[in-house]
Amino acid sequence: MPNIKIENLEKTFLTVDGTLVNAVKDANLEVKSQDVVVIIGPSGSGKSTLLRCINKLEIPTGGTITVDDLNITAATTDIRKVREEVGMVFQAFNLFPHLSVMDNITLAPIKVKKMSIKEAKKLGMELLKRVGLEEKAEAFPNQLSGGQQQRVAIARSLAMEPKIMLFDEPTSALDPEMIKEVLDVMMDLAKSGMTMLLVTHEMGFARAAATKVVFMDEGSVVEEGSADEIFDHPKNQRTKDFLDSIL
Amino acid sequence: MNSKEYNYGKITTTKIKAKKKAEEVKKYQTIQMTDGVLIPKKNDGSVLNSWRITFIFSISLLFFLVVFIPDPYRKIFSIVITGTPVTFQATIGAIIGAVIIGTFTGLGAVSKHKWINMVSGVYVELIRGIPLLVQLIFIYYALGRFFSLNGMLSAIIALSICFGAYMGEIVRAGIQAIPKGQMEAAIALGLNRAQAFRYVILPQTLKVILPAIGNEFISMLKDSSLVSAIALSDILKRGKEYISRTFLSLETMLIVALVYLVITLVLSWLVGKLEERLNKNA
């Protein structure tokens, strides 16, 4: 049962000019199997940092994160085990530009899971079909549109057969006409029962897909609830202000 | 994918800032590290032309002198050219050595271990501060007291160590020019750091640093002429020997210069071709 439990998470950055920035402080969050949790909040509220702490792209300075009963904040935990089970999709896609679409997808299964090349290619083809890009297998990332690149990036993460998917503003770098194709892929994924945790500004998507919406401000979780609760009847004043400013 | 089923209402987005960021990242994907353009580029008309002019000029002058003024030029040429195997041996050996040393030095400079950083940093600072000629003589004579090193081996070692330091700096800059997101994406997929470097970072680095590395190769070919100081019979040494017998210094050095020039220009053309091939998929 994939299950993420975040308790009293804290992340402090030391900036270049020597001041300490408290990006996340005292954040608590629980994600159950098959949940689709959407994190919203103003920029600088620590949403992305929280997400990045879950696969230790950022190392938390305090608190605990448990993924599948495995305490990943403990120094002894093999973080690669966690990363194999937690997929991540980035705002800037981060496809490997020197590799073809197929090689982008098969690299990790072949090198990390020691899958045979033939098997990996078969899996890659299935995943490309799933994101609607089977004809682009031999293309290079720079030959694809932003929306297509992000769909490949999603397929690449799925190739490791993760139990949890993290999305860090997956549509923020896209032209408006390409956002829908990426959201559709994510929606399919949510419908298939994938546990998802995403930071996004797509409130329409949040309403349609989220089992839980979390509002963050100034590094902590201010309010959480179902999409209807948060969007239609926010309790906290800060949530209200934020929603007023964007809708 | 059933794209028509879902409806998310009005799509709101904060894309402008993010797009700007992505563009900025793109801008830093290439680095410029040359001491002048040695390598001709296809689309760069003027550079291609200056390369062509120099090449045609030097090869026709060499041809003219050797064919039409056999005394003394053909004689000089036939002697000087016997030095090319030594020049090539020293250069190729040093290229291999310097690439290996440079790769490890560059990786050391971006390593997460502080003491590895330190070792590679000290090596670079130490070597860059000592003239190649001094290093060469030091290795040949000083180390020659303890180990029996022949001239060629000490030449290759000295050139490798010297250019390895420069190469290391180029590799470091190349690695740092790769956007951070590449490493993050690789480790988020479960690759360890070594795998991420090998399959994701270094292949991209190679493409970025190739022009700079190519320039280094050409410099190495030219600086290999310093090995004549340690009794190796390369192109320059052959010429100097001939001068000491005949006192035809101007004529001999003209041929020596032309031979180096032709080799260098051919090498720079080859590097340009290699770069073009690597860039096909960029």
Q: Does A88 touch chain B (CB under 8 A)?
A: yes
Upstream peptide bond of B72 is cis (omega within 30 degrees of 0): yes
pLDDT band at A22 (very low <50, low <70, confident <90, very high): confident
Q: What is the tens place of the pLDDT at every residue in B105-148? A: 999 999 989 999 999 999 999 998 999 899 888 888 887 778 77
Closest in A90, A112, A173 to B190, CB measured: A112
Which candidate in B2, B4, B11 is best for mutational testing of the A interface (most A CBs within 10 A)? B11
Q: Does B21 touch chain A (CB under 8 A)?
A: yes
Q: Look at B188 and A87 and tell me if their CB atoms are within 8 Å.
A: yes
Residue A113 with chain B: CB contacts under 8 Å: 190
Quick one: closest CA in B to A175, which residue?
Answer: B15
Closest in A108, A176, A203 to B189, CB measured: A108
Extents of the domains making up chain B: 46-281
CA torsion, points A90, A96, A101, A105, in degrees to nearest 10? -70
Q: The whole model's pTM is what?
A: 0.80
Which candidate in B8, B16, B30, B209 is best for mutational testing of the A interface (most A CBs within 10 A)? B8
| B33 vs B199, higher pLDDT | B199
Average pLDDT over chain B, rounded to an integer: 84
**Residue A63 contacts residue A184 (beta carbons within 8 Å):** no
Kindly list the strands in the beta sheet with A4-14, ordered across the sheet, starting from the edge strand earlier in the chain.
A20-31, A4-14, A62-67, A70-71
| pLDDT, mean of residues A164-184 | 92
Q: What is the tens place of the pLDDT at every residue in A108-150? A: 999 999 999 999 999 999 999 999 999 999 999 999 999 999 9
Percentage of residues of chain A with pLDDT beyond 70: 99
For residue B3, the model assigns a pLDDT of 46
Residue B12 with chain A: CB contacts under 8 Å: 201-204, 246-247
For the cut 90, the answer to whether the pLDDT of residue B211 exceeds it is no
| Alpha carbons within 13 A on the beta-carbon side of B4 | 0
List the one residue out of A224, B12, A9 whose CA is nearest residue A239: A224
Ranges A103-107, A235-239, B65-69, B206-210, most confident: A103-107
Q: Give the SS3 label for residue A51.
A: helix
Any residues with CB less than 8 A from the CB of B227 and at least 6 apart, and which? B86, B90, B136, B151, B155, B159, B234, B237
Q: What is the ipTM of this complex?
A: 0.90
CATH 1.10.3980.10 fits B46-281, yes or no: no
Q: What is the C-alpha to C-alpha distance for residues A76 and A153, in angstroms, rounded to an integer?
A: 30
